Chain A
Amino acid sequence: MSLLRDEGVVLRAQKLGEADRIITLLTRDHGIVRAVARGVRKTKSKFGARVEPFAHVDVQFFTRGSEFPGRGLPIITQAETLGAYGGRLALDYAAYTSGTAILETAERLTDHERGQPALQQYLLLIGALRTLAMGAHEPGLVLDAFLLRSLAVAGYAPSFVDCARCGLDGPNRFFSVQGGGTVCGDCRPAGSVVPSPETLSLLGALLTGDWGRADASEPRHRREGSGLVAAYLQWHLERGIRSLRLVERS
């Protein structure tokens, strides 16, 4: 039996029994952790809003094994807020729906290595939530930027200029989800699409963090770009992200 301390972002909270919840966190040192927050649904709970989705917390767990994963789920004994993004996101419906898609993607991309740290994904997630809560950019753009970068961290970086197959210098016209991004005329597989050059430029800007170029983009290019990002994500995750369907785009 031991006490462990880590910091993490709450990704999901599921009801358990009368007044408890199972909290899924992406932690800095232990990757994905599922733990029980006892009595959290009672109005007098000591946790309150600290273990709600989007919360960035410093958390202490009690585990029955020596290390994660222990025997049964660990129990959250203390939680202190480092960043409360949920309150601000819940007041902006578009930001809330984009934020939930970010949380679901972060869980899916890190869940297969439970107990192992995923530091880059963790830092990327905190950056995305902070940007979303600040409201500096359109929520859909923040979501697409996060999806592209988290895929890149997971080893699935798409190409938006050079040919993803033969490396031919870009710009290239064709885009293939299974081909890994833009492809040249010689390499293009069946089913390749021809997005507008502005859309490819927007996606490149989102991947590299060129917000000036991304913010100046037109809504039709954002719509086309989101479709390509969603298809690319689904191809690599094999299963769709449920919350993407409900994201409110401007």
Chain B
Amino acid sequence: MYEGVVQDLIDELGRLPGVGPKSAQRIAFHLLAADPADVRRLVHALVEVKDKVRFCATCGNVAESEQCRICLDPRRDVAVICVVEESKDVVAIEKTREFRGRYHVLGGAISPIEGVGPDDLRIRELMTRLADGVVTELILATDPNLEGEATATYLARLCKPMGLRVTRLASGLPVGGDLEYADEVTLGRAFEGRRLLDV
């Protein structure tokens, strides 16, 4: 145990995800040895993020105003919505530069074993967005795991009667991997989703 504020700092850092007591101690001593200006910059960033960042009223993504940068961008296609579980997924898709539509962040996936049902996600907000008839395609980009697939099934069943084109991201073999290490489910999906080579 250290004295006073040093121990307080270690305890606070230790509450962060993935930071154990040893890591917390290492970060605390790094901060003690760091330049005061660097520490002040970190403190400023922490305070700013809590003060300024909120969730977009339209899509649920992290934003610095009422709406996020993507929802405010007039160049984005309003007819296509890509549904993701978390804001982190928006960043991952944006990095591809393949998608020019808008997003909807659910805030998780349906997981009955964790007590998370459809009412705990932003599904009602999605239905409200789809009600005006502007959106023509819904891309379901939930995680390719069991909860993500079940959430996609639930949403597809809910949205298809609205006359929308409902699509799901393809799943199959990762680029750069070896075929022999692919599990049966992934390999099966890759066969289902095989495409014609147009050469």
A contacts, CB < 8 Å to B = 12, 17-18, 43-44, 46-50, 52-54, 81, 84, 86-87, 89-93, 96-97, 100-101, 103-104, 242-243, 245-247
| Stretch from B6-14, B65-73, B181-189 forming part of the interface with A | B181-189
A243 engages B113 (CB within 8 Å): yes
B153 engages A243 (CB within 8 Å): no
B114 engages A54 (CB within 8 Å): no
In the assembled complex, B157 has its CB within 8 A of some CB on chain A: yes
CA distance A246 to B186 in the complex (A): 28
B contacts, CB < 8 Å to A = 18, 110-115, 117, 145-146, 149-150, 153-154, 157, 174, 176-177, 181-186, 188
A91 engages B176 (CB within 8 Å): no
CB neighbours (8 Å) of B113 from chain A are 12, 53, 100, 103-104, 242-243
CB neighbours (8 Å) of A52 from chain B are 145-146, 185
Given that A53-B113, A93-B150, A93-B157 are known contacts, is A44 also in contact with B188, CB under 8 Å in the complex? no
CA distance A9 to B114 in the complex (A): 18
CA distance A243 to B112 in the complex (A): 4
Q: Which of A90, A103, A104 contacts B149 (CB 8 A)?
A: A90
Q: Which of B110, B111, B157, B186 contacts A48 (CB 8 A)?
A: B186
Q: Which of A43, A87, A245 contacts B185 (CB 8 A)?
A: A87
Given that A49-B183, A86-B146 are known contacts, is A242 also in contact with B188, CB under 8 Å in the complex? no
Our count of residue pairs bridging A and B at CB distance below 8 angstroms stands at 77
A242 nearest in chain B by CB position: B115
Most buried by A among B115, B150, B157, B183: B183
Min distance, Cβ A98 to any Cβ of chain B, angstroms: 9
B184 engages A100 (CB within 8 Å): no
B153 engages A92 (CB within 8 Å): yes
CA distance A46 to B173 in the complex (A): 11
17 CB-based A-B contacts, threshold 8 Å: A12-B113, A44-B174, A48-B183, A48-B185, A50-B184, A50-B185, A81-B184, A86-B146, A90-B153, A93-B157, A104-B112, A242-B114, A242-B115, A245-B117, A246-B115, A246-B117, A247-B112
Given contact pairs A53-B113, A81-B184, A245-B117, a sample of 11 additional A-B residue pairs in the complex whose CB atoms are under 8 Å apart: A49-B184, A50-B185, A84-B184, A86-B185, A89-B146, A92-B153, A96-B146, A97-B112, A104-B112, A242-B112, A246-B110
Most buried by B among A46, A103, A245: A46
CB neighbours (8 Å) of B174 from chain A are 43-44
CA distance A7 to B150 in the complex (A): 25
A50 engages B112 (CB within 8 Å): no
B150 engages A17 (CB within 8 Å): no
CA distance A247 to B110 in the complex (A): 12
Given that A44-B177, A54-B146, A245-B117 are known contacts, is A100 also in contact with B183, CB under 8 Å in the complex? no
B153 engages A101 (CB within 8 Å): no
A10 nearest in chain B by CB position: B146
CA distance A18 to B157 in the complex (A): 33
A96 engages B153 (CB within 8 Å): yes
CB neighbours (8 Å) of B111 from chain A are 100
Q: Which of A12, A44, A49, A90 contacts B150 (CB 8 A)?
A: A90
B146 engages A53 (CB within 8 Å): yes
CB neighbours (8 Å) of A12 from chain B are 113
